[in-house]
A and B are shown apart, each in its own frame.
Chain A
Amino acid sequence: MKLGSACLQCRSGKRKCDKATVGAACEQCKKRGLQCSSLQREASTTALFLSPQNVRSNQSSSLPPAKVVEELIDLYICYIHDKPHSLFHEPSLRQAARDGTLHHGVLFGIAGLSARFSSNLELRSQGHAFANQARAFVQTNLEAICLENVQAFILVGNVCLAESNPDSESLYFGKLAPHEIENLAND
């Protein structure tokens, strides 16, 4: 994770970023009232080192508003669902999102893939932050063997593909292979 580079908002606005201290918004974003990605970085970096319980409470506090989740799921269903993978029963997915019971790895994985299709520029710029949250989540919950984790893994692997990051893509897709799981169990 590059911590020293400009924040996403400055990068997309082609502004000189003063590279705020991690966890605080940069001056440019403060001036413009933007949600600086330096804030998100802190959340996703620390999430890697926290215990699963803390991660969950940490992430539930940073869930996007319901309306935004709905838009992100719409975009996912429209452009991604049933194309490179087929992972969900659409009505159940939407219901879980409405009830707030959607697995966070799945939710952020979907958001990380679909934010790029939004016509809302600010939401679009949050795609990386969503993807990082999905990554942090699956990494922390690596040993929890459940269907939702497999779905989240596939989504995160696809995010790496979309970001042209083949090494990480191999890592995530490779983790789904039987022998990798045996290795994990032996650790």
Chain B
Amino acid sequence: MAQLLQLPKEDLVDGEVSREVKRRVWWSLYLIDRWASAGLGLPRHFYNGGLAPRLPMDEVMFSQLSVTGAKDMNNWQPGIWSHMISLVEIFGHIQDLNHELVDQTHWDENSIESRVLSLAERLAKFEDELPPAMVYTIENLDFHVRRGIGRTFVALHLGYHHYCTLLYYQYLDQRRPPTPNTRMFAQRCKHHATEYCELIRTSNQHGGAEALYNIVGHMTVVSSSVLLHTLLLGDDHELPMARHRWSQISSSWSS
């Protein structure tokens, strides 16, 4: 349907508002395609390198754009959504790797490790290249809440920690070869799951930032399972912190 509508092509008859709506709908479909292929096992339809519209603009600027008024696009800035799109592109590769591991009977540890390292680099690059206002800090959270897009900002960072957790999740398995890298990966998995839980807690308490869209439940299951793993199989020194986080995150289950 999106293809038939020629959503990726810019139609000059449209005003800037319509063009941006179409871009956002197209990119929403792109993300759904990545998420649904992971969650539902559907084949993917959007490939990288195909015709794609410009990334979405700053959300507040867009919501202030008037349908009829003159447009001043000189201070165009990418929106939170444009970062979400780069992130979900990496997620697609993480998901491919995890799917392949499930299908393969023989695992080539060296090749797995090098792929994990290369995806880890891409995630680190993503975080490094975020503009200062997009980096997760309490000040930035305040800033985006004041602009009315605090929940969107939280969604971006929940996604980031969730995808990192997924990349390293396989290394919680203690039967994997104990190399320095695999131990580091397992630690990173726990780190991102903990950061995820911390962000859920902060955003619930902050006001104007709580995350209640439907995939949050699924992501929270994943990070909780990491905590549970630490509680059951972790080293002694990890237990008090894990117990503390567990009591925090399990309280969000009832709500």
Contacts and interface: CB of A to CB of B under 8 A. Distances in A.
A173 to B, nearest CB: 5
Interface in A128-187: 145-147, 149-151, 153-154, 157-158, 161-162, 166, 169-170, 173-181
A14 interface: no
Contacts of B31: 84-85
B29 A154 contact: yes
A178 to B, nearest CB: 4
Interface stretch (B32-40, B93-101, B128-136, B169-177): B32-40
Interface string B105-135: 0000000000000000000000000000000
Interface stretch (B186-194, B208-216, B234-242): B208-216
Contacts of B25: 86-87, 147, 150-151, 154
Q: Is the interface of A mostly helix, strand, loop or mixed?
A: helix
Interface in B61-120: 62-63, 65-67, 80-81
Contacts of A92: 17, 21, 67
Given A83-B211, A86-B28, 9 more contacts: A82-B155, A84-B215, A89-B20, A154-B25, A154-B32, A169-B40, A176-B29, A179-B45, A180-B1
B17 A173 contact: no
Q: For this complex, into which size category does the number of interface residues on chain B fall?
A: 35 or more
B161 interface: no
Nearest to B158: A83
Given A145-B5, A149-B1, A80 B21 contact: no
A151 to B, nearest CB: 6
Interface of B: 1-5, 7, 17, 20-22, 24-25, 27-29, 31-33, 36, 39-40, 42, 45, 56, 59, 62-63, 65-67, 80-81, 149, 151-152, 155, 211-215
Contact of A117 (B4, B32, B40, B212): B212
Nearest to B39: A166
Contacts of B149: 82
A83 B151 contact: yes
Contact of B40 (A146, A153, A166, A181): A166
A84 B40 contact: no
A50 interface: no
Q: For this complex, into which size category does the number of interface residues on chain A fall?
A: 35 or more
A90 interface: yes
Contacts of A89: 17, 20-21, 62-63, 65, 67
Contacts of A151: 25
B2 A162 contact: no
A147 B65 contact: no
A147 B81 CA distance: 20
A91 interface: yes
A179 B43 CA distance: 11
A78 interface: yes
Given A83-B213, A154-B29, A162-B214, A178 B45 contact: yes
18 contacts: A78-B151, A79-B212, A80-B213, A82-B81, A82-B151, A88-B21, A89-B63, A89-B65, A150-B25, A150-B29, A153-B1, A154-B25, A170-B40, A173-B32, A173-B33, A176-B2, A177-B42, A181-B4
Given A83-B155, A86-B24, A92-B17, A173 B36 contact: yes
Contacts of B2: 150, 176, 178
Contact of A82 (B17, B22, B39, B59): B59
Given A86-B28, A147-B25, A91 B63 contact: yes
B81 A86 contact: yes
